[in-house]
């Protein structure tokens, strides 16, 4: 099958934009101009852009356009913009890009604030450097002001009843002889900045603990000293006949798969319209209408004054795509990768490019007799943590979604230099990783939005529960066996699953489509490790905000405006608009257009190997055909030609 792809000539393929393509730089400029010159928004008060992204076209309009093989005009391209204007008003604006006009402009009055933009975080983080009480605090700790770096942290919500100001807390660190300033926190200082007036509004210096030393915290290889470990041999990937996939704009075809790959400043990578080819019929069959990382909740487990509020929502508060870093060829992606750039609008609405934000490559994992080639799409995000998110498409029909955590832990300064000094009943809220350095306990909950459309959008959620049966009538020498009892979810209440509570396969099926032998076609969701759920009490404020994090799987009725698991406005949110709340509507989900929300969860107890930089830890899940094909589709896929090139040279 793969040979067909070699007949595609990229130059012959049109590069017309697809309705799901991310906003281009020129479109972002049109949006900026349209808004800035529009009546009512063009006053002298600056406009602050917090989100600019493609307004998703109506699903049914898009699907009929897609089925029509692009002969009809595509649905119009619209942008969705969240901006703050004047004193403290959040506007939701739809812009029609072709007519350069504002379609609607609504003021949001509910709780919660939009995603921070980078510029306001940068401005806030420099305020302490000119603030004399802080300069005094730095001096008191024997540090140089020029070595201090501060970062903005969301403050969360802790039961305040009235509307609060849009504030952040600053967490400060010392660089000096290391790039890894995260390992050298300045403890005991609270700095609160009001972002709307850009001023420090609260300051406390409560206690001093030693700043951990710089020695041993640098992770750059040039900074290491003898003795070194053994060096591995070089590795390279060669595809003698060229790449096996074709990229047409944002549409990717490879082997039996095709799908659209986009970038969004909030979500990062977005996979749409993924369909897999059925060899017998020569048809592409729908699998995943849309999939992306909807939220990433990271609550730290230290209730003390300096740490209690550190319960981050990286997607809704910071923007997973905004913090994406450029992937480095040969380091992050192999030699045979293709790269895609991402564009977002900055505070002023001006387009900014993130080069190589996504990469696409084929991977041969020759660990079985069948051909195994996969396309991985890592998108990387960097704050202190790095998350590498992978979408792997397999010729077997599986989509494997993996997330790898690496990077730098958030650590806490302490007077302790040895675990033996810790008092018997004292809770450190973490592990002593190095002298004066505690790696604080925390979780990572990555919630994926998966709008599965298995052979169409009328699907059902089925739990194939595995139950032990007793043989009591003496009909068999056996006393027991297990069997499968299928339960089809009627409403959203039946679509909430706590993984591990009982053995079951989780299936999304289309009961309107049967295989030849009469089974419902379907896909199942299989966990690959990392199934942690939140352990916080239900009445704890971070838990109220992320009330969906107690269950790993939720199934909801499709609703275009329900995309972000923790709600649209997450900074200081109060839990009134999130996945768990939507699920309470208890809509019908049987034979309906449904969305599966799957959370990859880690409880992270730090260990010394996580210092000064954490080695990769991976978990994820797989969407796997289950009675979708008539038989193993790999049988029909011709294996790769083995090529041995002992004497090839590498040219970059
Ligand atoms: C704002 O736009 C309106 C209508 O386009 C125009 O009449 C007005 O002069 C503009 N004001 C400013 C400050 O640019
Ligand atoms: C769709 O979602 C929005 C936001 O949760 C909600 O206001 C609206 O009522 C929902 N519509 C339906 C039909 O459930
Ligand atoms: C490798 O080297 C051998 C001997 O020099 C030569 O015959 C062969 O063509 C080379 N193969 C490739 C793929 O370059
Ligand atoms: Cu962690």
Q: Whose CA is nearest to atom 4 of ligand 1?
A: 39
Atom 5 in ligand 1: residue holding the nearest Cα: 39
Pairwise pLDDT comparison (477 vs 179), residue with the higher score: 477
Cα 185 to ligand 2 centre (Å): 43
- Whether the predicted pLDDT of 600 surpasses 70: yes
Query: How does residue 7 score in pLDDT terms, banded at 50, 70 and 90?
Result: very low
**Residue 210 has what pLDDT?**
92
102 CA to centre of ligand 1 in angstroms? 15
Segment 214-238 shows an average pLDDT of 77
Kindly report, residue by residue over 528-561, the tens digit of the pLDDT: 999 999 999 999 999 999 999 999 999 999 999 9
Give the number of the atom of ligand 3 that is nearest the alpha carbon of residue 645: 13
Please report, for the chain, how many H helices and E strands are present, in that order. 7, 31
Name the closest ligand to CA 580.
2
Choose the most confident range, by mean pLDDT, from 59-63, 69-73, 442-446. Answer: 442-446
> For residue 646, how far is its CA from the centre of ligand 3 (angstroms)?
8
Could you write out the DSSP letters of every residue in 101-112?
EEEEEEEE-SS-
Over residues 31-41, the mean pLDDT reads: 91
What are the respective helix, strand and coil percentages of the chain, to the nearest 5?
A: 15, 40, 45
Q: What pLDDT does 231 receive?
A: 79
On the question of pLDDT at 365 being above 80, the answer is no
Residue 524 near residue 450 (C-beta atoms within 8 A): no
pLDDT in tens, 508-526: 999 999 999 999 999 999 9
* Residue 647: pLDDT band with limits 50, 70, 90: low
Ligand nearest to C-alpha 240:
3
Atom 14 of ligand 1, residue of closest alpha carbon? 42
* Smallest-distance ligand from the CA of 648: 3
Distance from Cα 520 to the centre of ligand 2, integer Å: 30
Catalytic residue among 96, 314, 571, 593: 314
- For residue range 556-576, what is the model confidence (pLDDT) as tens digits? 999 999 999 999 999 999 999
Q: Which of 71-80, 232-241, 306-315 has the highest mean pLDDT?
A: 306-315
Nearest CA to ligand 3 atom 8: 647
**Which residue, by CA, sits nearest to atom 7 of ligand 3?**
647
CA of 441 to the centre of ligand 4 (A): 8
In the predicted structure, residue 12 carries a pLDDT above the cut 80: no
- What are the pLDDT digits (tens) for 245-296? 899 999 999 989 999 999 999 999 999 999 999 888 889 999 999 999 999 9
3-state secondary structure at position 287: strand
pLDDT for 243 beyond 90: no
Q: Three-state SS string across 347-375, please? A: CCCCEEEEEEEEEEEEEECCCCCCCCEEE
Confidence of residue 223 (pLDDT cuts 50, 70, 90): confident
What the chain holds in terms of domains, given with CATH numbers, is 15-108 (3.10.450.40), 118-221 (3.10.450.40), 245-636 (2.70.98.20)
Mean pLDDT within 601-606: 97
The CA-atom distances, in angstroms, between 139 and each of 206, 254, 260, 368 are 15, 59, 54, 61
Do residues 266 and 322 make contact, with C-beta atoms less than 8 angstroms apart?
yes
Q: Please indicate, yes or no, whether the overall pTM of this predicted structure exceeds 0.85.
A: yes
Alpha carbon nearest to ligand 2 atom 5, residue: 562
Question: Does residue 205 have an active-site annotation?
Answer: no
Residue 359 CB neighbours (<10 A): 21
List b or e across 103-138, with b for residues whose CB sees 16 or more CB atoms inside 10 angstroms: eebeebeebbbbbbbbebbeebbebbeebeebeebb
Residues having CB closer than 6 A to ligand 2 are 559, 561-562, 582
Q: What pLDDT is recorded for position 10?
A: 29
In the chain, what is the straight-line distance between the N-terminal and C-terminal CA atoms, in Å?
A: 29
Longest dimension (CA), the chain: 87
* 471: pLDDT strictly greater than 90: yes
Segment 333-351 shows an average pLDDT of 93
Give per-residue pLDDT as tens, 156-203: 999 999 989 999 999 999 988 888 888 899 999 999 999 999 999 999
The answer to whether residue 455 is catalytic is no
Mutate to test the pocket of ligand 3, among 642, 647, 648 (most ligand atoms within 8 A of CB): 647
182, 300, 344, 385: the catalytic one is 385
For 109-126, the pLDDT digits (tens) are 999 999 999 999 999 999
What pLDDT does residue 221 have?
A: 74
Question: What is the model's pLDDT at position 530?
Answer: 96
User: Mean pLDDT, to the nearest integer, of 122-133?
Assistant: 97
Tell me: pLDDT of 372 over 50. Answer: no
* Closest to 548 (Cα-Cα) out of 570, 527, 528, 525: 570
Which residues approach ligand 1 with their CB closer than 6 A?
39, 42-43
- Could you tell me the distance, in angstroms and rounded to a whole number, from the CA of residue 86 to the centre of ligand 1? 16
CA distance 236 to 35: 49
Where residue 16 falls among pLDDT bands split at 50, 70, 90?
A: low
The predicted structure's pLDDT at residue 74: 87
Closest ligand relative to 35 C-alpha: 1
Q: What is the mean pLDDT of residues 422-451?
A: 96
CA distance linking residue 169 with residue 192, whole number of Å: 5
> What mean pLDDT, rounded, does the chain reach?
90
Query: Which of these ranges, 98-107, 191-200, 208-217, has the smallest mean pLDDT?
Result: 208-217
Burial class (CB in 10 A: 0-12, 13-18, 19+), 283: exposed
220-229, 310-319, 408-417: range with lowest mean pLDDT = 220-229
Residue nearest to atom 3 of ligand 2 (CA): 561
Report how far ligand 1's centroid is from the alpha carbon of 46 (Å). 14
Contact 356, 339 (CB under 8 A): yes
Distance CA 272, CA 291 (A): 6
Given the CA of residue 577, which atom of ligand 2 is nearest to it? Answer: 5
């Amino acid at each position: 099958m793969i040979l067909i792809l070699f007949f595609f000539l990229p130059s012959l393929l049109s590069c017309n934009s697809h309705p799901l393509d991310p906003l281009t730089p020129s479109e972002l400029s049109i949006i900026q101009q349209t808004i800035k010159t529009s009546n009512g928004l063009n006053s002298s008060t600056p406009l602050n852009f917090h989100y600019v992204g493609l307004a998703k076209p109506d699903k049914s309009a898009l699907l009929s356009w897609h089925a029509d093989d692009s002969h009809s005009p595509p649905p119009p391209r619209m942008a969705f913009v969240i901006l703050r204007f004047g004193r403290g008003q959040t506007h939701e604006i739809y812009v029609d890009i072709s007519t350069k006009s504002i379609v609607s402009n609504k003021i949001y009055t509910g709780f919660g604030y939009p995603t921070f933009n980078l510029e306001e975080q940068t401005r806030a983080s420099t305020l302490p450097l000119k603030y004399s009480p802080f300069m005094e605090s730095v001096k008191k700790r024997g540090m140089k002001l020029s070595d201090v770096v501060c970062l903005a942290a969301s403050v969360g919500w802790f039961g305040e009843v009235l509307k609060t100001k849009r504030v952040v807390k600053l967490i400060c660190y010392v660089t000096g002889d290391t790039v890894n300033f995260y390992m050298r926190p300045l403890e005991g200082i609270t700095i609160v900045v009001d972002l709307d007036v850009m001023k420090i509004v609260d300051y406390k210096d409560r206690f001093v603990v030693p700043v951990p030393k710089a020695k041993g915290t640098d992770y750059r290889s040039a900074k290491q000293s003898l003795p070194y470990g053994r060096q591995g041999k070089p590795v390279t990937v060669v595809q003698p006949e060229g790449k096996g996939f074709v990229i047409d704009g944002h549409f990717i075809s490879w082997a039996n798969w095709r799908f659209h790959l986009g970038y969004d400043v909030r979500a990062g990578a977005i996979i749409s319209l993924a369909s897999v080819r059925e060899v017998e019929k020569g048809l592409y069959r729908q699998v995943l209408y849309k999939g992306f990382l909807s939220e990433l909740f990271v609550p730290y487990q230290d209730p003390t004054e300096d740490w209690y509020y550190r319960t981050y929502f990286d997607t809704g508060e910071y923007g997973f795509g905004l913090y994406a870093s450029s992937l480095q060829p040969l380091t992050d992606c192999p030699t045979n990768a293709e790269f895609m750039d991402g564009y977002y609008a900055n505070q002023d609405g001006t387009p900014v490019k993130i080069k190589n934000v996504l990469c696409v490559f084929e991977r041969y994992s020759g660990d079985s007799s069948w051909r195994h080639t996969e396309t991985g799409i890592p998108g990387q995000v960097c704050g202190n943590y790095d998350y590498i998110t992978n979408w792997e498409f397999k010729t077997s029909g599986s989509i494997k979604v993996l997330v790898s955590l690496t990077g730098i832990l958030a650590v806490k300064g302490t007077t302790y230099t040895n675990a033996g000094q810790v008092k018997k009943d004292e809770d450190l809220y973490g592990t002593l990783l190095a002298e004066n350095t505690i790696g604080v306990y925390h979780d990572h909950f990555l919630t994926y939005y998966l709008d599965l459309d298995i052979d169409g959008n009328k699907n059902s959620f089925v739990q194939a529960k595995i139950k032990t049966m007793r043989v009591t009538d003496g009909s068999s020498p056996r006393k027991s066996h297990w069997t499968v009892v299928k339960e089809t979810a009627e409403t959203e209440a039946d679509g909430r699953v706590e993984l591990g509570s009982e053995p079951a396969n989780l299936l999304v099926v289309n009961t309107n489509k049967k295989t030849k032998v009469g089974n419902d076609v379907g896909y199942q969701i299989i966990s690959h490790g990392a199934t942690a759920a939140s352990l916080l009490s239900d009445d704890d404020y971070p838990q109220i905000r992320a009330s969906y994090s107690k269950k790993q799987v939720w199934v909801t009725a499709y609703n275009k405006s329900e995309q972000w698991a923790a709600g649209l406005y997450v900074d200081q949110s109060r839990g009134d608009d999130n996945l768990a709340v939507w699920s309470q509507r208890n809509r019908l989900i049987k034979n309906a257009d449904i969305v599966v929300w799957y959370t990859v969860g880690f409880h992270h107890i730090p260990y010394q190997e996580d210092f000064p930089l954490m080695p990769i830890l991976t978990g994820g899940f797989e969407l796997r055909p289950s009675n979708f094909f008539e038989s193993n589709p790999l049988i029909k896929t011709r294996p790769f030609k083995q090529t041995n090139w002992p004497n090839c040279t590498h040219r970059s």
